[in-house]
Amino acid sequence: MKIQSNLYALSKNDPAQARPNERPALTVADKAAAQVDNLQQSGENLAAAESRLADADAAKKVLDFVKQNLPSQNPGDLIKDSDESRRRIADLMAD
């Protein structure tokens, strides 16, 4: 008899036993919060992927532009432009 009365006393003092209907609600709330976190992470991943794709598209456009314009330039002009750029950089560093 004493064991049964102790178990009854424990069940009355145990919050999980006193309110059994709240446990599933907490579980549902936890799952909903986890789902929101997952959606937020998925959104961040999607934004990062879109950014990488935009960067790759921009790099491809620059490469295509260079491929089209490079053959049309005289090699002597390229060397002259390169030397001029070096002089400008040296002038900037000297100041």
Low-confidence ranges of the chain (pLDDT < 50): 1, 7
| Residue 1 pLDDT | 47
DSSP assignment of 10-50, as one string? HHHH-HHHH-TTHHHHHHHHHHHHHHHHHHHHHHHHHHHHH
pTM of the model: 0.46
